[in-house]
Structure 1
C-alpha cells in the first residue's frame, strides 16, 4: 500500500529528530567518517598501483620483443609513475611493495574504524539513549505503566533502542560513505572513459526506483512485527510471574500452546519480511552484474582499439565498477535498516515524549524537614479523568496523629493514599503538608519525608541489608538492624544462611509473605520519616505476627503522622481517628469506640469480625453496642 501524506510527514519528523540525536556525537562521527575516508583513499591508491603495475609489465613485454605489439610507456595517475631509468624488476618489486604497504595500513585503519564505530554506537549512543529512556520512565506517573504492558516497555528499552542505533551506523554513516564513495568512483571512471561509464551505469536509475518502492512497502511490516514481539514478550513475562498458578491449575499445556502460537506469529511475520528482503538483495545484485557484462563487452572493445589502457584503464575501471556495485548493493541493507530504525525510534520517542504529569514547579519550596501536618481540602481524583475514585474529601490530620482508613475494595483508599506523596495529582482541591500545597514542595523533599509500605511488598534481588536500606543506602548496619527489630524481622533474618548478607531471590521468593512484609516495614522505618503510609501492611501476616509487628510499630508510629489502611479491628483501634470510605467519599469518621456506637458500615464490619472470633457476646455485655 502506498504511504499516506501523514505517514510521510511522520517519517520526515522521525528522521529530523534522529539526525538531531546523532548531532550530539558529531565529534566521534567525524572521526569514524575520516577513518572511512582514509580507507577509501588507500583503496583507490592500491587499485591505481595495480593498474600501473599491469601496464608496466605489458610495456616491458613489448620492449623485450616477446610480442610485436607496440605499447606506450605507462603514464601514472595521482603522482604514481615509474622513473624510466629503473630496471623492470626493481620497478615491479617497488610497486608490489607499495601495494602491500597500503594493504597493511588499510588493515590497521580498518581495525581502528571498527573499534571507533562500536565505541560510538554501542558505548555512547545506545548507553546514553537507554539511560535517557530509563530516567524518563522513573519520572512518569503510574498512569503510563497502567496504559502500557511490561512486555512493551521492556522491548522498547532493549531492542528498540538497538534499532535506533541502526540509524547511525547503518543509515547515516553508511549513506554518507556511500555518497562520497559513489561520487569519487564515478568521477574516476569518467576520467578513464566517459562513454564506458555511461554505458555501465545505465541501470542505476532503475535501481533507485526499485529501492524506493521496496522501502515504502516494508515499513508497515516492521511495525506489525514489533507489536507481535511485544505480545510474545508480555506472554512470556506473565508466564514467568504466574508459574505457580499455572502449575497449581495444571494449565501448562494450554499456556505452552498459547506461547507457541505467539512465537509462530512472530516467525511468520519475520519470514514475510525476510522473503521480501531476500528477493530485493539478489535483484539489486543482478542489476549490478549487468554492468560487469557491459564492461567486458564495450570496455574490451575499447582496449583492443587502443582507446583504453589495459591496466590503468580496463583493470582499474573494473575494480572501480566492482567497488561501485558493492556500495550500490548496500542500498538493500540501508533501506532495510532505515525501516527498522524508524519503527524502533517511534516507539522509543513515545516514551521520551510521554508527558510527565507529576513534576516540580519552576521554583519549588525546599523543605527538607516537615512537622507532618496533613490536610486534604475538597480533594477529588479520577484515574481516567472522568469517573472519580476520590470525591470531595476534606480531612485535617495534626502532626503525630494516626488515621486508619477502612473501606471495601474500590472505595478509594489506596487512591487517597497515593495523593499524599504525589504519585498522582488531584483533579481538584489541595493536598497540603504543613499548610503548603504538595505541588509547591520539591518532589524529592516530599518523598524523602514519607515512608511507605505497599499492600504488596516488592523486594530486589540483593542482600537483605540492601533491601532494608534501599531508600537510605548510606545507613549503617546498626541503623539497619534497629529498623529490622522494630519491624519484628531481626530474628528471622538472623536465622537466614548469611544473616543480613543473604541474597534474596527475585522479589524475595524464598521468603514468606509475612517475612517480605516485615522487610518492607523495616525499609520504611529506616528513613525515620515524619509521615508513614501503611497500605494494609498486615494483610499477609498471621494474627500472632501482626501483634508482634504492631507492638513494635507503636514506637515507630509515635510522633509520626500515620495513614493506615486496615481491615482488622485490633489494627484499626490503634488509630486516633478512623475514616470509613464508600464510593470515594468519607462515610464515617471518629475513634474506634465512637464508631462502635454509631449505626453504619464500621459497626457492621466490627459485628462480623467479632462474630467470627466469638467475642461478640462479651462486647454486648460490656455495652459496646447499643
Structure 2
C-alpha cells in the first residue's frame, strides 16, 4: 500500500493523549479571557436555574402547609409578613419563577452567542493557519498525500478541533460546576439520601472509561474511511469525461457505494456501543430515582424531609446531576473525535517545510538568465535517482530543448530550477548563485511556467492571466495576451477579458487554455521560461498558432522547453537528450541528425509517419500519367517537401 493510501492512519500511540491535550488547551488559552467570561455566564445560568427550582419547591411547601406557614422552610431565616396569605405568598413564588425564567432566557441567548463567537474565531484562525502551512509545504507533501485527506484536514478535521473547545472544554467545565453545585445542594438537603441515590455513580464512571477505550480506535478508522470517500468523489468529478467516455458509471457508483457502506458499518458499530452505554447509564439513573422515591418518600412521611424544598428540589437536582454524569459519555465521545481531528491537523502544522529561504538569502531583482547544473543527482526516493550526475550550462537568452523517452527525467530537470525540489547531490546555479541561497520569492518571480497540463482557475480571463501579477493594468494584460496569440479569441468571448472561464478552464479548447497560460507567464516578464511540452495534446492547426506564440515568448529569454515535436525542437539553440536519467547527447538539430541515437530515431519515426500520411492522401481515382495527376502531385509534393523539411533540416 502506498503512502497516499495510508493518509491519516496515525496510530493511537504515535502522539500520546497528554501532550495532545496540552497542545489543544493552548489553542483554548489563546482566548482564555473570553472563555472565562463564558464560564461565568454559564455559572449565572446555573444559579438562576437553582433559584427557580427552589422557588418551585417552596411553592409546594406553601400549598402543603397553607394552614401553618411557619412550617414552610425559607432559606436564610427570611419570614414573610404575618399579614400575607398563602395565596399571596404563592403568587410571589410564581412571580419569582417567571422573572427568573425571563432573565435566564435573555442570558442564555447572550451566553450562546458569546460562546459561538469565541469558538468561530478560534476555528477561523486554525483553518487559516493550516491553509497557510499548506501553501508553504513542498511538492513532496502533495506527492505523498491524497487530495481528499488534505481537504478533510482543512474542513471537517478543523471542525473536530472546534468540538474540543466548544463541546469538551467549555461543556466539561460547565459539567464539573453543575456536578459540584448540585452535589453540594443535595448534601445540604440530606447527606444520607444523597449517598444512597449516588451509590451507582462509580459503576457509571468505570463503564465510561471502558467506553472511551473502545471508541478511540473506531473514531480514527472512521476518519480514514471519510478520507477515502472524498478521494473517490473528487476523482470522479475531475475525471467525469473519462468515466462517461468509457461507460464506467455503474462501476464508479459501485466503488462509491462500497466506500459509503464501509463508513456505514463503522458508524453502526459506534452506534451500537454508544446505544448500549446510553441504555446502561439510563438504567442506572432510574435506579437512583427508585431509591429517591423509596427512601425520600419515607423521610417525607416521617416528617424528616420537606416535600417541596426537600424531596421535589432533590428530585430536580438528582435529575440534573444524573444528566451531567450521563453526558460524560458524550463528552468522552467528542473528546476522542476531537483527538482524531487534532492529530491530523497538527500533523500538517508540524510538517517540516523542506523548501525555504536560507538564513540570509540573496536578493534577485532581475536575473540575466544564466542557468547551470553542477553534478546534479536527484530522486523522489533517495535510493532511486531519477537524474544522475547532470552537468549543463545555459547562457542568457539561449533556447534549450529537452528530449528523451517517457520517464527519463525531463520534467524533473525543469522542476529543480525554481526549487520545487532540491537535489540530493550537486547544485543548480542561476547567475552563478546556488538557488538554495536565493530568496525563494525572488527566484520564482523571475521564472515563468507553462505546464503540459494547463490549470486555470474558475475566474475571469483577466484574473487568470494576471494571477502572478494581480496589480497589472488591463492594458498590460491585453498586451501579454497579444504576445501569446490569445487576444483574438479572447475578444470574441461573451464578456471578453471579464468572461468567467469556469473551473479548470472548462469551455475553452486545449490550445486556448495553453495560450492563456503562456500569457500568464509572459505577464511576469520572466528572465527564464520553462515550457513543459506545451504542444503535446493539441491538433496541428492549434500547434502552428502556439508555435507563433512561442516564438514571441522565447525571444530574448532563457528558455527550457520539453517537447517531442521536431517543429518545436529545430528552433532551439541546443538540444539535450536525456536517457535513463543521464545526459546522452547535446547538440543542434543538424548535429544530432548526423549522430546515431534517440534523437535521430525519433526524428526518422516522425518523418516516416508524415511521409506515409502524404502518400495515403494522394487521389487514387486519377491515372498516374494524366495532366490532372501531375498537377496535383506537383502542388502537393511542394507542400509535402516543405513539411518534411521542417522535420529534418532547414
Write out aligned runs for 1:278-317 (5 A).
278-317=275-314
1 CA distance for matches of 2:48 and 2:117?
Answer: 23
Larger mean Cα displacement after TM superposition, 101-110 or 394-403: 394-403
- Aligned residue number for residue 6 of structure 2: none
How far 1:544 sits from its partner (Å)?
3.1
Write out aligned runs for 1:443-592 (5 A).
443-592=440-589
Write out aligned runs for 1:259-408 (5 A).
259-408=256-405
Larger mean Cα displacement after TM superposition, 173-182 or 349-358: 349-358
In angstroms, what is the RMSD of aligned CA positions? 2.3
- How many residue pairs get matched? 612
Q: Decide whether aligned partners of structure 1 residues 80 and 215 sit closer, same or farther in structure 2, where only a CA change above 3 A counts.
A: farther
How far 1:516 sits from its partner (Å)?
1.1
Matched, 1:164 2:161: yes
Write out aligned runs for 1:59-78 (5 A).
59-62=65-68, 72-77=71-76
Q: Decide whether aligned partners of structure 1 residues 73 and 570 sit closer, same or farther in structure 2, where only a CA change above 3 A counts.
A: closer
Asked if structure 2 preserves the Cα contact closer than 8 Å seen for 1:459 and 1:506, the reply is yes
- Aligned residue number for residue 229 of structure 1: 226
- Aligned residue number for residue 58 of structure 2: 52
- Aligned residue number for residue 202 of structure 2: 205
Asked if structure 1 preserves the Cα contact closer than 8 Å seen for 2:404 and 2:579, the reply is yes
Q: Decide whether aligned partners of structure 1 residues 101 and 591 sit closer, same or farther in structure 2, where only a CA change above 3 A counts.
A: same
Asked if structure 1 preserves the Cα contact closer than 8 Å seen for 2:377 and 2:388, the reply is yes
How far 1:292 sits from its partner (Å)?
1.4
TM-score normalised by length of structure 2: 0.90
Secondary structure of the 1:439 match is helix
Matched, 1:155 2:161: no
How far 1:596 sits from its partner (Å)?
2.3
Matched, 1:17 2:14: no
Secondary structure of the 1:533 match is strand
Secondary structure of the 1:60 match is coil
How far 1:146 sits from its partner (Å)?
1.7
- Aligned residue number for residue 66 of structure 1: none
Runs of 4+ in 1 over 4 A off after TM superposition: 615-622
Q: Decide whether aligned partners of structure 1 residues 445 and 620 sit closer, same or farther in structure 2, where only a CA change above 3 A counts.
A: closer
Asked if structure 1 preserves the Cα contact closer than 8 Å seen for 2:515 and 2:549, the reply is no
TM-score normalised by length of structure 1: 0.93
Q: Decide whether aligned partners of structure 1 residues 178 and 258 sit closer, same or farther in structure 2, where only a CA change above 3 A counts.
A: same
Asked if structure 2 preserves the Cα contact closer than 8 Å seen for 1:607 and 1:616, the reply is no
Q: Decide whether aligned partners of structure 1 residues 474 and 9 sit closer, same or farther in structure 2, where only a CA change above 3 A counts.
A: closer
Secondary structure of the 1:90 match is helix
Matched, 1:40 2:46: yes
Q: Which deviations, in whole Å up to 9, do the C-alpha atoms of 1:477-529 show, x marking residues without a partner?
A: 11111111111111221222222111112211211111111111111111111
Q: Decide whether aligned partners of structure 1 residues 8 and 532 sit closer, same or farther in structure 2, where only a CA change above 3 A counts.
A: closer
Q: Which deviations, in whole Å up to 9, do the C-alpha atoms of 1:146-179 show, x marking residues without a partner?
A: 2111122222222111111111111111111111
Q: Decide whether aligned partners of structure 1 residues 620 and 164 sit closer, same or farther in structure 2, where only a CA change above 3 A counts.
A: closer
Asked if structure 1 preserves the Cα contact closer than 8 Å seen for 2:368 and 2:431, the reply is yes
Secondary structure of the 1:375 match is strand
In structure 2, runs of 5+ residues without a counterpart are: 1-10, 612-638
- Aligned residue number for residue 427 of structure 1: 424
- Aligned residue number for residue 118 of structure 2: 120
Q: Decide whether aligned partners of structure 1 residues 395 and 84 sit closer, same or farther in structure 2, where only a CA change above 3 A counts.
A: farther
Q: Decide whether aligned partners of structure 1 residues 196 and 600 sit closer, same or farther in structure 2, where only a CA change above 3 A counts.
A: same
How far 1:612 sits from its partner (Å)?
2.5
Q: Which deviations, in whole Å up to 9, do the C-alpha atoms of 1:215-235 show, x marking residues without a partner?
A: 001111112222222222211
